[in-house]
Chain A
Amino acid sequence: MSEDLFPTPAPVSRGPVAADGVALRCRGLVKRYADVVAVAGLDLEVREGECFGLLGPNGAGKTTTLEILEGLIEPDDGLVEVLGHRWGTGEDRALRQRLGTQLQETQLAEKLTVAETVRLFRSFYRRGRAVEDVIRLAGLEEKRRARVGKLSGGQKQRLALACALVPDPDLLFLDEPTTGLDPQARLRVWELVEHFRASGGTVLLTTHYMEEAAHLCDRVAVVDHGKIIAQGSPEELVASLGAQQILEFRTASELPAGELEALPGICGVQTKNGSYVLCIERIGAALPALLVELQRRGVELESLQTHQATLEDVFVNLTGRALRDG
């Protein structure tokens, strides 16, 4: 992060947030709605000072999980411990003093200005940052007198973040912080989150952007149908594929997918919407062999592309679906 953008000094260093170094813990979390099970037995442990990401498609139960952890929804079953406290034990308001929250769909009052909005949120907290300070941090000085309704999507999102950061929280919850933002605006939100991290704060965020998870998170949990199906650092998760590269191709006529696995340098084959997705260990060996095989069978190639394996491929590999398909 550049010093020019954020000349604000880092907040004072924090004390330990919880005795055992675990900022947030939940076990066997279950939440059912009338016709769906939104969260189906979810375990999670976020360590102090880390940025943890819940990665999954829309409807995977990420938001419900987050709102249970934020104390906004009561779970049907399971244990939740936030900064060493449980919700509903008479300390809720004291606990909320230490949390920063950005909800997915909150639209702040349009008729208020940026400064009025931040000041309102500041008034709810006993301790926290100065209003002007947070506005500067969010890069909204020039907009401080602008009505919220006149802000761009990225500015609105930075304002939402400013309101989450104004208590100078120990733990920051972000629910899809960059959904719907353009790349430039996304980058600025990332910078804000990184700045908070640099001061030692703990972050739990949800996203369905694998780039976001890979960029911001120390550890990621892949969530699908209300359960965690894989967990680890982004690098570990990608490495678990056993693949360096992903090769995707389409042909004019069908191939027996199983036989492709026998080719050298290939560690896995999947078919997806009529195209073939190969996990590649050694592209140098695999690609020539594939082309020779296609020629031998007289199958015409329609398209072919390769890319570095990513978290997206982890998700596809685990579920057979793409993140964006939902």
Chain B
Amino acid sequence: MAEPTSATRRYHPLLELTRTRVLEFVREPEAVFWVFVFPVLLALALGIAFRSKPAERARVAIVSEGATPGTSALIQQLREAPDLQVQVLDLQAANQALRRGNVDVVVNLGAGGGVMTGPVIYRYDPGRTEGRAAELAVDDVLQRALGRRDAIATVQETATERGGRYIDFLIPGLVGLNLMGSGMWGIGFSVVVARTRKLLKRFAATPMQRSHYLASFALSRLLFLSLEVAAVVGFGWAIFGVEVHGSLLDLALVALLGALSFAGIGLLVAARPRTVEAVSGWMNLVMLPMWLLSGTFFSYERFPQIFLPFIRALPLTALNDALRSVMNDGANLATNGLPLLILAAWGLVSFLVAVRIFRWQ
């Protein structure tokens, strides 16, 4: 007969907790979708929407009221210029087209009685870079046609810088965003669901070390982390040719620190709430500002200067900066000391506070 009491411990509690956490995650199809499929779909959609296009021709409206047989030769030359797309409209229609953004510049040739007397009037919106560029292009053609000579010969070389496309900017940001989302949701939800189901209380009634329970979240995140990062980075590389210019090891270490940091923050957000609704509210409160501010979809440098120190202190900003620095600029960890320090501080402080205030029932 078998001895029913096994004197030795066969399973390590931390490993068992981590194992069950992983099993629970992979058995939740919705979670798998949000962590692995959603960011890839997002990258695909944004990559297509903001793909690099060949330089567009400046759209020019010439006011018909000033057009005479004397100006038609000029208009013909403008039409033949390769950078320009020219149409002749009456003044009202031309201004309306400008207002709607259908043309970049309105040109009034200012001709009277068939003779060019000037001044030529350019009308454009200085807030749109296309307007200024179109004005310069039209002016160049007109001035040459009327006899201006170049003072010195020029040659235009065009180059597309490595890592300078929008998708190159976007992919590291999506990696960061994904690390934040899966860390926060993955931990916040599990903890609060376990609390509402009184499972935390049941665990508290066992000799389980409470730190093991909390650490199992960090461990299970590590397992998924590599898959998550690989999914987005691999997708960017395969579909859009987004390269990792720094070392993969550095990328892995930055992602690791980011994942641990958001695991700590997720644990903190989930430390007290008793309901899933409450924790969802807190999660959104914490994450939404970072979605907007932390430079995932556009550079945070666009915000006013005085906000930048605060924005840079956000964990997602620090993570995005470090990821971009490694992926796009090929930098190493040493040059990313500050963002990595910010990440580590957020994670550590959150974890320590979470452990102190954690509600087990």
**Interface residue ranges, A against B (CB under 8 Å):** 8-9, 11-12, 70-72, 93-94, 96-97, 99, 101, 103, 105-109, 111-112, 116-117, 119-130, 133, 147, 163, 167-168
Partner of A123, one of B12, B197, B361: B12
Whether A111 contacts B24 in the complex (CB less than 8 A), given A133-B2, A133-B4, comes out as: yes
Do A103 and B207 have beta carbons less than 8 Å apart?
Answer: no
A70 vs B360: C-alpha distance in the bound complex, in angstroms?
14
Please give, as numbers and ranges, the residues of chain B lying within 8 Å of A133 by CB-CB distance: 2, 4
In the bound complex, what is the Cα–Cα distance between A258 and B16 (angstroms)? 67
Asked if A103 contacts B16 (CB within 8 A), the reply is no
Q: Are A9 and B1 in contact (CB under 8 A)?
A: yes
B51 within 8 A of A: no
A111 and B7 in contact (CB under 8 A), knowing A101-B205, A124-B13?
no
Known: A120-B17, A126-B9. A8 touches B199 (CB 8 A): no
Question: How far apart are the CA atoms of A133 and B5 in the complex, in Å?
Answer: 9
Taken together as a complex, chains A and B put the C-alpha atoms of A93 and B203 apart, in Å, by 12
Interface size on B, residues (CB 8 A): 35
Bound together, the chains give a CA A168 to CA B6 distance in angstroms of 10
Closest CB pairs A-B (n = 10): A123-B11, A123-B16, A96-B207, A107-B197, A101-B205, A111-B27, A124-B206, A124-B208, A106-B202, A123-B13
Contact count A vs B, C-beta below 8 Å: 101
Q: Is B198 an interface residue (CB 8 A)?
A: yes
Q: Which of B3, B5, B197, B198 has the most CB of A within 10 A?
A: B5
A97 to B207, CA, bound (A): 6
CA distance A126 to B203 in the complex (A): 15
Determine the chain A residues whose CB is within 8 A of the CB of B37 once the complex forms: none
Interface residues of B (CB under 8 A from A): 1-7, 9-13, 15-17, 19-20, 23-24, 27-28, 194, 197-199, 201-209, 361
Q: A97-B207, A129-B4 known; A107 and B20 CB under 8 Å?
A: no
CB atoms of A112 and B20 under 8 A apart: yes
Q: Is the CB of B197 within 8 A of A116?
A: no
User: Out of A70, A120, A126, which one reaches B16, CB within 8 Å?
Assistant: A120
Name the distance in Å between A92's Cβ and chain B's nearest Cβ: 8
From B11, B197, B207, give the contact of A93 (CB < 8 A). B207
Cα–Cα, bound, A40→B19 (Å) = 43
CB contact between B4 and one of A124, A130, A163 (< 8 Å): that residue: A130
Q: Cβ of B20 and Cβ of A116 under 8 Å apart?
A: yes
Q: How far is the CA of A121 from the CA of B2 in the complex (A)?
A: 21
B199 engages A72 (CB within 8 Å): no
Q: Which residues of A contact B198 (CB under 8 A)?
A: 103, 105-107
Interface centre among B1, B20, B194, B199 (most CB of A within 10 A): B20
Shortest Cβ distance from residue B8 to the other chain A in the assembled complex, whole angstroms: 8
- B204 touches which of A72, A107, A168 (Cβ 8 Å): A72
Q: In the assembled complex, how far is the CB of residue A63 from the closest CB belonging to chain B, in whole angstroms?
A: 11
Residue on B nearest A163 in the bound complex, by CB = B202
Task: Choose from A12, A105, A111, A130 the contact partner of B23 (Cβ within 8 Å).
Answer: A111
Nearest-CB residue, chain A, relative to B26: A111
Contact among A101, A108, A127 with B5 in the assembled complex (CB-CB below 8 Å): A127
